[in-house]
Structure 1
């Protein structure tokens, strides 16, 4: 099986792990590494199968978010994979294909990686960890997850 250490530099990986921890105060470093690793695997799987409806679990989405925040690392990763994986935030967490997480895990295995199955739970209230985003995301604007309208109006207090 392949390892994510082949995808980005060790320093970049540790920085992504730190970003996962920053978004989740008190998170154990080992858990943050697992989440960052699954986020990387998701990006690889989608880059290899862009026409398949895939999505990360809410927990794995934390790793994807952290990776995206490292824009240069993310850009270089996507370039090395041959396809830029865009991020479409979903606004309806109840509107998702129940098999999408199974399909995504299968795509990760097809890409040559093991899956950390504990991190791939459905978007329900009983998550393995508390995550900063309470929605389901997709790498495709045509998938079963409804993309958030863009641009979103800024929040304003009422007068």
Structure 2
């Protein structure tokens, strides 16, 4: 399946991305399919919030795929969007490949004592440096109840739960 022609072209891993909205990484049909999944999994979620979460998950995955060897954990809310993207396996594989590396998801059980807002700040700083917008409301701690999501895992800063697999050469 080819990407729509209006999407940004792939760039070399590790180089800043053009200043475009992460929403543009998917066609309307792809975005609506992913949005439908997050809304099905979170029946009380507003459509607008689902779109915001998916958009932040796109920025997160694009950034993480460009940072092999670095722990780039998401917030609990953005993790829900990441889970949803992963369910769309072909789309997710293409998204990761576009940015050079596959971003594996290995869940950890939630533990509010393991949460470190400084780690989340580092992730959002990397996302901004890559040229993406950050929706601050979605990068809160696990105790923040602004957004209720189905995801029951979190990611720590030990480089273990997120594994970046470099794209094969050749």
Q: TM-score, normalised by structure 2?
A: 0.77
Partners of 1:91 and 1:146 within 8 A in 2: no
1:115 aligns with 2:134: yes
Partners of 1:87 and 1:137 within 8 A in 2: no
1:93-108 to 2 correspondences below 5 Å: 93=111, 94-108=113-127
Report the aligned-residue RMSD. Answer: 1.7
1:119-158 to 2 correspondences below 5 Å: 119-124=138-143, 126-137=144-155, 143-144=157-158, 147=161
Q: Distance in 2 between matches of 1:25 and 1:48?
A: 33
Q: Distance in 1 between matches of 2:142 and 2:63?
A: 20
Give structure 1 stretches of 5+ with no counterpart: 148-159
Q: Distance in 1 between matches of 2:76 and 2:109?
A: 13
1:76 aligned partner = 94
Partners of 1:45 and 1:107 within 8 A in 2: yes
Partners of 1:54 and 1:104 within 8 A in 2: yes
Q: Distance in 1 between matches of 2:69 and 2:20?
A: 23
Q: Distance in 1 between matches of 2:135 and 2:120?
A: 12
1:83-94 to 2 correspondences below 5 Å: 83-93=101-111, 94=113
2:76 aligned partner = 58
Number of residue pairs matched by the alignment: 142
Q: Distance in 2 between matches of 1:21 and 1:137?
A: 23
Do the aligned partners of residues 146 and 72 (structure 1) sit closer, same or farther apart at CA in structure 2, a change above 3 Å counting?
closer
Is the deviation greater in 58-67 or in 127-136?
Answer: 127-136
2:61 aligned partner = 43
